[in-house]
Chains A and B, each alone.
Chain A
Amino acid sequence: MGLTRQATGFSTLQENFLPDGSNGYVVALAGNPNAGKSTVFNALTGLKQHTGNWPGKTVLQARGKFTHQGHSFTLVDLPGTYSLLASSVEEQVARDFICFGRPDVTVVVVDATCLERHLNLVLQVTEVTSKVVVCLNLMDEARRKKIVIDVPALAGELGLPVVPTAARKGEGLARLKDVIAAVATGTLHPVPTPIVYDAAIEAAAGRLARQLQPLLRGRLNARWVALRLLEGDATLIEGIQEFLGRELDDPGVKLQLKEVLA
């Protein structure tokens, strides 16, 4: 099955991603192209998916299992994306999984040598879910390039656990597994620093989110859905409708939107 727009709806999401017997935790692996996501995936699962140093290699999503501290985890390797704005099919697939697939943990793999660019994705993921672990990969390369990263400061700024790794050498992977398990089981509860937009957006998002709250029934992050609505993301609305099994446009909803408008 190809990566076509038709094939990226929620229905295919279910058969593509959602684990068959839902025993154990689901861990999503997100990251920019070339952050070493496939290497991390292989290192964690012991699978030998071919890795290549070029963007877009992971066309089909790979899935693998690993066990740690007596828990079993299903790792889903998402396509490499620069953002969750869903401007390409890959981004849409990744976003749909993170928001509708409801993984227990989302690991965002970032390249330590160009942290700033890769942080955009981390920030966007934290808007969807708080259960995020940052895998600061390619630390070996950063050391070679004499780039020093203040990991506690980074973790503090983000409000997320940050694990430095060099997946190719196996560095930091044990700790990564520990942290994934801690977040999955709830012993570690990340509180991501919220991103504050300008006053107009915040006000509109706040009002819209309050209206959406009862509709979403806690199954999706209302603030995030409100922001996406404001942004005008058509693909997401359809996804939400499928996910909730309910049209956002049915009489009850329309009424509420009118109230918001007033």
Chain B
Amino acid sequence: MPGRKTNQVFDAARHLAGGMTASYRDRMVTVLYARAEAIAFRAVEKNAKARWDLDQRLDAILTSRVWGYPIMLALLAFVFWLTLEGADYPSTLLANLFFAFQDMLSGLFYRLGAPEWLHGIVVLGMYRTLAWVVAVMLPPMAIFFPMFTLLEDLGYLPRIAFNLDNFFKKAGAHGKQALTMCMGFGCNAAGVVGCRIIDSPRERLLAILTNNFSPCNGRFPTLITLAGIFMGGFLTTVSGTVLAALTVTGIVGLGIILMFFTSWLLSRTILKGVPSFFVLELPPYRPPQVLQVIARSILDRTIYVLARAALVAAPAGALTWVLANVHLDDLSIIAHLTGWLQPLGKTVGLDGYILLAFVLGLPANEIVLPILLMSYLSTGMLTEVDSLAALGEILVGNGWTWVTALNVMLFSLLHWPCGTTLLTIYKETKSLKWPLLAAVIPTAMGLAACFLVKLLAGLLGAKLGG
């Protein structure tokens, strides 16, 4: 047992200077600090404190008790608004381009006399899903990520951690969880790995289990698109865009509130304990390196996420097409599956197709909406989705109302983490128990939340979808 032996060595060492009880460490640290002060006194000359004052003044506002939270929410809403406003037009443009190419592709297949099933799998399945993912996801990501990275570069993230520290303490969690939460907005798998910055195993587990409450970039396009159609009235008016941005902000806010609630609940049940102390430095505000930020966030994040989505989307598209077009007993496989899920879906204000899309979207949240669309389309409706309006038509045609849209957004926020994240949680915790729990908690909350919304909407007399 090295510990015991070590203690003997210490005891020997400690008694060296005649059994003095005063801490050597304290006395040594005092000497070090005095020396550093003396050197700095001789070498540093401060002429004016202009910028330092600016930093302090900024912090007085950005981390103030009164303004801290409203500014945080306003910044979030502003980022979403800019994303919605800026992404709509390029999205439509890309969609038009891709679907024009789809027609050419189809023409080519027919001229070559390719069999119908091959055309179905490759063009209607793989290509169309891929095109949809790129058209819908690329523009918002190319705006959202650089904005977020700019805030990070500016030094705003530690201020968020500072603002929220009190809440984390009350929830029994570690203040650094604010940082892993912010990483989760980029990617939950990255957020879970980031939890390594938390030393205490108990608090690290809390952070890992609740990271999924930050909607990742795979889910933002779903949230943004649905909010744009159903809350924003296809983003044709300024007030519509603002309303859509506020809806997305609300969903993110709800995620943060539930993250606190779940942390609180866990730290009072299966992960009991008190939060540990830590030092958080508020770094100086630094002017962001704009060009580098844009280049890096587009290359590192946007392209990476898009590539991952595309990699999953193509096979998923093919699989969905097969499921939709292989018939067993006069019904497609999709119809069988959705029929089976329909009762549960309808009970909570969703439908079987939506639940199936979330199940098939396990590899990556990015493909939930494309799969859903494919399944709807396979029942013989529109063939082209080149604008928000067309997309809205399909959804409304399948019985969607704003309640359905709200519930899908809620369920997108509150359901099992994607496959990569679950695998990462397993790798980080070395136990099947935690990924399971990480999946069960949000899913239960999601089903409950959807059910509640359906109930309330019913009470309000809103027209529920067929």
Interface residues of A (CB under 8 A from B): 2-4, 32-34, 48, 50, 52-56, 59-60, 82, 85, 88-89, 113, 115-117, 119-120, 123-124, 141, 144-151, 153-154, 157-158, 168, 195-198, 200-201, 203-204, 207-208, 227, 229-232, 234, 237-238, 241, 247-249, 253-254, 257-258, 260-261
> Nearest Cβ in chain B — how far from A243, in angstroms?
13
Tell me, in angstroms, the Cα distance from A53 to B152 when the chains sit together. 6
Residues of B within 8 A of A146 (CB): 46-51
Residues of A within 8 A of B196 (CB): 2-3, 59-60
Interface residues of B (CB under 8 A from A): 2-3, 5-10, 12-18, 20, 24-25, 27-29, 31-33, 35-40, 42-52, 152-155, 157-158, 161, 176, 179, 193-194, 196-197, 199, 201, 279-281, 283-284, 286, 289, 296, 300, 428
Known A147-B44, A157-B43, A230-B24: A237·B154 in contact at CB below 8 Å = no
> Nearest Cβ in chain A — how far from B383, in angstroms?
41
Tell me, in angstroms, the Cα distance from A208 to B201 when the chains sit together. 37
Tell me, in angstroms, the Cα distance from A227 to B199 when the chains sit together. 27
Tell me, in angstroms, the Cα distance from A87 to B12 when the chains sit together. 22
- Whether A201 pairs with B17 at a CB distance below 8 angstroms is yes
Tell me, in angstroms, the Cα distance from A147 to B55 when the chains sit together. 15
Known A124-B32, A146-B46: A229·B10 in contact at CB below 8 Å = yes
10 closest A-B pairs by beta carbon, nearest first, are A116-B40, A119-B36, A154-B43, A204-B17, A34-B283, A146-B47, A229-B13, A249-B5, A56-B197, A53-B155
- Whether A201 pairs with B9 at a CB distance below 8 angstroms is no
Residues of B within 8 A of A116 (CB): 36-37, 39-40, 44
> Nearest Cβ in chain B — how far from A7, in angstroms?
10
Tell me, in angstroms, the Cα distance from A46 to B396 when the chains sit together. 52
Partner of A55, one of B2, B13, B281, B428: B281
8 contacts between A and B (CB under 8 A): A2-B196, A3-B196, A50-B300, A85-B25, A144-B51, A148-B44, A232-B10, A249-B6
- Whether B33 pairs with A149 at a CB distance below 8 angstroms is no
- Whether A33 pairs with B199 at a CB distance below 8 angstroms is no
Known A146-B46, A197-B28: A249·B8 in contact at CB below 8 Å = yes
Residue of B29, B47, B283 contacting most chain A CB atoms (<10 Å): B283
- Whether B284 pairs with A141 at a CB distance below 8 angstroms is yes
- Whether B24 pairs with A231 at a CB distance below 8 angstroms is yes
Residues of A within 8 A of B14 (CB): 230, 232
- Whether A168 pairs with B36 at a CB distance below 8 angstroms is no
- Whether A52 pairs with B157 at a CB distance below 8 angstroms is yes
Partner of A113, one of B24, B48, B284: B284
Residues of A within 8 A of B284 (CB): 113, 141
Known A153-B43, A230-B16: A55·B36 in contact at CB below 8 Å = no
Tell me, in angstroms, the Cα distance from A32 to B155 when the chains sit together. 16
- Whether B33 pairs with A54 at a CB distance below 8 angstroms is no
Residues of A within 8 A of B18 (CB): 200
Tell me, in angstroms, the Cα distance from A60 to B18 when the chains sit together. 43
Residues of B within 8 A of A119 (CB): 35-36, 39-40
- Whether A149 pairs with B199 at a CB distance below 8 angstroms is no
- Whether A201 pairs with B289 at a CB distance below 8 angstroms is no
- Whether B155 pairs with A50 at a CB distance below 8 angstroms is no
- Whether B16 pairs with A204 at a CB distance below 8 angstroms is yes
Residues of B within 8 A of A148 (CB): 44-47
Of all chain B residues, which has the CB nearest A88?
B199
Of all chain B residues, which has the CB nearest A241?
B2
Residues of B within 8 A of A115 (CB): 40, 43-44
Tell me, in angstroms, the Cα distance from A168 to B291 when the chains sit together. 12
Tell me, in angstroms, the Cα distance from A48 to B406 when the chains sit together. 40
Tell me, in angstroms, the Cα distance from A231 to B9 when the chains sit together. 12
Tell me, in angstroms, the Cα distance from A25 to B38 when the chains sit together. 34
Residues of B within 8 A of A258 (CB): 12
Of all chain B residues, which has the CB nearest A232?
B10
> Nearest Cβ in chain B — how far from A22, in angstroms?
28
- Whether B42 pairs with A153 at a CB distance below 8 angstroms is yes
- Whether A203 pairs with B17 at a CB distance below 8 angstroms is yes
Residues of B within 8 A of A50 (CB): 296, 300
- Whether A247 pairs with B5 at a CB distance below 8 angstroms is yes
Residues of A within 8 A of B12 (CB): 257-258, 260-261
Tell me, in angstroms, the Cα distance from A115 to B41 when the chains sit together. 10
- Whether A123 pairs with B50 at a CB distance below 8 angstroms is no
Given contacts A198-B31, A204-B17, A234-B3, 17 further A-B contacts (CB under 8 A): A32-B281, A53-B286, A54-B158, A115-B43, A115-B44, A119-B39, A148-B44, A157-B39, A158-B39, A201-B17, A229-B10, A231-B25, A232-B14, A232-B25, A248-B6, A249-B5, A260-B12
Tell me, in angstroms, the Cα distance from A150 to B42 when the chains sit together. 8
- Whether B35 pairs with A53 at a CB distance below 8 angstroms is no
- Whether A54 pairs with B43 at a CB distance below 8 angstroms is no
Partner of B24, one of A52, A201, A261: A201
> Nearest Cβ in chain A — how far from B211, in angstroms?
15
- Whether A145 pairs with B39 at a CB distance below 8 angstroms is no
> Nearest Cβ in chain A — how far from B153, in angstroms?
5
Tell me, in angstroms, the Cα distance from A148 to B47 when the chains sit together. 7
- Whether A48 pairs with B296 at a CB distance below 8 angstroms is yes
Residues of B within 8 A of A2 (CB): 196, 428
Residues of B within 8 A of A82 (CB): 279
- Whether A207 pairs with B43 at a CB distance below 8 angstroms is no
- Whether B32 pairs with A123 at a CB distance below 8 angstroms is yes
Of all chain B residues, which has the CB nearest A226?
B13
Residues of B within 8 A of A32 (CB): 281
- Whether B31 pairs with A230 at a CB distance below 8 angstroms is no
Residues of B within 8 A of A204 (CB): 16-17
Residues of A within 8 A of B157 (CB): 52-54
Tell me, in angstroms, the Cα distance from A82 to B29 when the chains sit together. 12
Tell me, in angstroms, the Cα distance from A145 to B16 when the chains sit together. 48
Residue of B42, B43, B158, B428 contacting most chain A CB atoms (<10 Å): B43
Of all chain B residues, which has the CB nearest A151?
B43
Tell me, in angstroms, the Cα distance from A89 to B24 when the chains sit together. 22
Tell me, in angstroms, the Cα distance from A60 to B5 when the chains sit together. 32
Residues of B within 8 A of A201 (CB): 17, 24, 27-28
- Whether B39 pairs with A154 at a CB distance below 8 angstroms is yes
Residues of B within 8 A of A141 (CB): 284, 286
Residues of B within 8 A of A249 (CB): 5-6, 8-9
Of all chain A residues, which has the CB nearest B289?
A168
> Nearest Cβ in chain A — how far from B184, in angstroms?
14
> Nearest Cβ in chain B — how far from A122, in angstroms?
8
> Nearest Cβ in chain B — how far from A15, in angstroms?
17
- Whether B16 pairs with A261 at a CB distance below 8 angstroms is yes
Residues of A within 8 A of B29 (CB): 85
